[in-house]
Amino acid sequence: MRRRRKAVTVRPPASRLLPTATAVALLAVLGPAATVHAASTGTPTIRLSAAYLSGAVGASGDPVVTVTVAQSGADASGLTVTPSTSSRSTVAGTGDVRVTGTGGSRTVAVTARARGYADLTLKVTGTDGKSATTTLHYAASPAVRHAADARYLTGASDASAAVDAGGGYVLVANDEDNTLRLYDGSASGAPVRSWSLSSALGASKEVDIEGAARVGNTVYWTGSLGNNKDGEYKADRNTVFTTTLSGSGAATSVAFGTAGHRLRDDLVAWDKANGDRYGFAAATADGQTPKQVDGFNVEGLEFAPGSTTTAYVGFRAPLVPPSEGGKALLVPVTDMDQVARGAKAAFGTPVELDLGGLSVRDLRRNDKGQYLIVAGSWAAEDNSAPYALYRWDGVAGHQPVKVLDLPTADAGGWESVVSVPDLDVSGGRVQLITDDGSADLYGDGTQAKDLAHPEWQKSRSTFFTLG
């Protein structure tokens, strides 16, 4: 006879049960879809590659900044970046700001309406409506002649010497510091690389670099050699040094070479020994300022035709004779390769050139032995006096020929010639660079060299077509 099994009821522990009233209340609060959780998003972030930007009225290809945006819990491609306000729309309004690109990195460009400053607010907005802002501090310089052929080299304003680094890149010295900066010469913007040489030079002040010449991969640089603007001797200015370049274009690298610190003294001694013809001793005396018609100030350096040892040192001052209409002076240093190592200088026969009463502001030679000379006033710190471009064959006794009057209505003084095209072929293009250090670029009375933000400091590079 079978026995019947007793039914057993299994109950969950009391701790797992909710009273019916509690369960109903909880459902009312959470809703029927309480088991599906929506993804939460944070506040967007927006960051500029540089908070300061400069431009120019009528410019082609002004510098730009990169803006990086993100939002936790959201795809960056869903974020929008827009200009929202301008503190001075007459300089640049929100409609003058262009934001391009997608994803987490966008590019911001600004078109200048007028000279001056404007703070531009940029806003990032997520798909959920959350937003954040940042401010771009913008400065616009006035329109210039040849604007389509002008580019702006930012980060410093006192470009004073330059050499061709290949591939359209230019290595530029600044006479207010001892830093060499590499720029893409075809575009406006900041240097792609820079090298501070103060430590290698043992210099506590600026060398006042004013001239440069390249021989192979060696670049020779010279200080102005003269007193400072207060008529004081500063030893760091009595410097000739070399750097060695490796690579080319954007891949250019610079290594310090050697330095000498006696060329000024040797020039004064040589002039004394030859009847004090140029007055170097008096011009370098304590209290004598360098930029006088009878002063002592070097601004050009280039090697003689076919030579890697004899270099022409070009003088901004003195003129010869030291009066209106005087000639420009070149002094050949026949052992420049050794002078840059600290050796005593040896000199050739000086060369006096008729540049229409102007002096040497720079000179450059090409592989054909053709020279271009930037001629300007011994006095002018800007374009308030005539500037011209002369062609020369480098032979003492042969006089240069003017090929171009340079525009003088814009800010800055013509200071450097990068390279020389074949001057026997019509239509060659030459790149000149201005020193804008003394210019009031933005209309507030501040000289460019004194601007607090390097992004607002700039020199201008312009391409000229030669007939």
Q: What is the pLDDT of residues 118-130, one digit of tens each?
A: 999 999 999 999 9
Least confident range from 308-312, 382-386, 403-407, 415-419: namely 382-386
Instruction: Report pLDDT for 384.
Output: 73
pLDDT band at 24 (very low <50, low <70, confident <90, very high): very low
Cα separations in angstroms, 344 against 312, 340, 347: 16, 10, 10
| Phi, psi dihedrals of residue 238, rounded to the nearest 5° | -90, 65
Q: Each residue of 339-377: pLDDT tens digit?
A: 999 999 999 999 999 999 999 999 999 999 999 999 999
Tell me what pLDDT residue 382 has: 66
Contact (CB, 8 A) for 133 and 122: yes
What integer pLDDT is reported at residue 372 of this predicted model? 98
Of 71, 64, 135, 63, the C-alpha closest to 103 is: 71
pLDDT score at 39 = 64
Asked if residue 218 has pLDDT above 80, the reply is yes
Distance CA 80, CA 123 (A): 8
pLDDT at residue 444 tops 60: yes
Tell me: pLDDT of 225 over 80. Answer: yes
What is the Cα–Cα distance from 40 to 72, expressed in whole angstroms?
8
Look up residue 449 and give its amino acid: K
Polymer length of the chain = 467
The phi, psi pair for 127, rounded to 5°, reads -65, -20
Pairwise CA distance, residues 179 & 156, whole Å: 10
Sorted by sequence, the CB contacts under 8 Å of residue 254 that are 6+ apart come out as 171, 180, 182, 195, 243, 244, 245
Residue 19: what pLDDT? Answer: 46
Is the model's pLDDT at 272 over the cut of 80?
A: yes
Q: Judge whether residue 27 has pLDDT over 80.
A: no
- For the ranges 60-64, 113-117, 238-242, 270-274, which has the lowest average pLDDT? 60-64
Q: What is the pTM of this model?
A: 0.90
Amino acid code (one letter) for 309:
T
- Note the pLDDT tens digit of each residue in 283-322: 999 999 999 999 999 999 999 999 999 999 999 999 999 9
Average pLDDT over residues 189-215: 98
Q: What is the average pLDDT value for the chain, to the nearest integer?
A: 92
